[in-house]
Structure 1
């Protein structure tokens, strides 16, 4: 029983680490797309970023208000 619970706790911490890494990767990618949209003014990147940043689209909307696409 203790071995099994040890395995579960290790698996849970590893699982959480994966989600943290995915969050960081997504943040870096959305920052890259934000930069592309704001400075290079590429419409395709604006659409991709809106799709990625659905739940926190403040940066997208803030940028799109100030950039003519």
Structure 2
């Protein structure tokens, strides 16, 4: 019976590790999605501001403008 308890203990350790790793993955995925959404909002705000600040013929240089203010 001592052998079975040892196996159960090892299985429990493996389950706890896998659960912890799964939570870490979900958290990291959530953080990545939040950061992507923040970047998208920032890009949209930059475009909207640029439409008001620069003449229409300068709109092609958006990427240069974006990187210069970040």
TM superposition score normalised by structure 2: 0.60
1:22 paired with 2:35, answer yes
- Higher gyration radius (CA): 2
Runs of 4+ in 1 over 4 A off after TM superposition: none
TM superposition score normalised by structure 1: 0.61
Deviation at 1:48, TM superposition (A): 3.6
Structure 2: give runs of 5+ residues left out of the alignment. Answer: 1-13
**CA RMSD in angstroms, aligned pairs only:** 2.1
Structure 1: give runs of 5+ residues left out of the alignment. Answer: 52-69
Greater helix percent: which structure? 2
